[in-house]
Amino acid sequence: MVVFEKPHALTDVPLHYCPGCTHGIVHRLVAEVIDELGIEGKTIGIAPVGCSVMAYNYFNCDMIEAAHGRAPAVATGVKRANPENIVFTYQGDGDLASIGMAETVHSAARNENITIIFINNAIYGMTGGQMAPTSLPGQITQTSPYGRDTNHCGFPIKVCEMLAQVDGAQYLERVAVNNVKNVKNAKKAIKKAFQNQVEGKGFSLVEVISTCPTNWGLTPKKALEWVDEKMIPYYPLGVYKDNTAEKEAE
């Protein structure tokens, strides 16, 4: 009896992520959702620049590697070319909330019928742990070695809260993957974000609070605890906007 299988939407390529990094969990959730919705053959994924740059090797659907921050613009092109395709981007905090902020906000404003999976781990992982747009006040990183000083370099950006003000955005939810209950909720949110697109309901973004044990300087277990202790209080989980429910009621 098979009790555990790899989703078909994931390739056999071993993931390159560090031990304890939650990218692997989120990749799996996205792949499970693609399997469950039966959309692998028409899905196009857009990988970012950052730790998940090589996501194009891990998903079995067609994949495109975008320039740093530009994934929502690339997704716009793909979706406008072939609206029958299911198009998702997978982006980190530096990619989506710093260099790609304009692309993020305007793809939401246009209500592009795409799905964005946004990994917020409050740090630049790939380049070795620099301060991210979502690094917490006081957080020590390579480029905020004395702790993020908000008087000097400003405040973290709360993406879901901000996009909730954009009329075009249809579904925004923040989830975490640091325990079983949260992983289950994350799966539900990711599934809804893809389902919305299948049903033509428009711009959906799921922010996943993730870990970076390597650059946080914590063990994998401590990193999961740090999510509860530090990240979630600053970035509360929940649904920030859901116009898709209204559409169902109409």
Count the Cβ atoms, other than its own, within 10 Å of residue 167: 9
In the complex, what is the shortest distance from the CB of residue 119 to another protein, in angstroms, rounded to a whole number? 18
In the complex, what is the shortest distance from the CB of residue 171 to another protein, in angstroms, rounded to a whole number? 21
Comparing CB distances to another protein, the nearer of 43 and 115 is 43
As beta bridge partners, residue 43 has 86
Chain-centre distance for alpha carbon 36: 19
In the complex, what is the shortest distance from the CB of residue 24 to another protein, in angstroms, rounded to a whole number? 19
Q: Which structure tokens are listed for 219? A: 């063990």
Comparing CB distances to another protein, the nearer of 81 and 153 is 81
Comparing CB distances to another protein, the nearer of 169 and 208 is 169
Comparing CB distances to another protein, the nearer of 61 and 117 is 61
The contact set with another protein (CB under 8 A) reads: 11, 40-44, 46, 53-54, 56-57, 59-67, 70, 73-82, 85, 102-103, 105-106, 110
State the residue for tokens 């908000």.
150
In the complex, what is the shortest distance from the CB of residue 72 to another protein, in angstroms, rounded to a whole number? 8
In the complex, what is the shortest distance from the CB of residue 112 to another protein, in angstroms, rounded to a whole number? 10
**Alpha carbons 29 and 24: distance in angstroms, whole number:** 9
Strand 238-242, strand 171-176: pairing: antiparallel
Comparing CB distances to another protein, the nearer of 118 and 235 is 118
Single-letter code of the amino acid located at 93: D
Distance of CA 121 to CAs 9, 51, 75, 115, 128, Å?
A: 24, 11, 23, 19, 13
Single-letter code of the amino acid located at 153: C
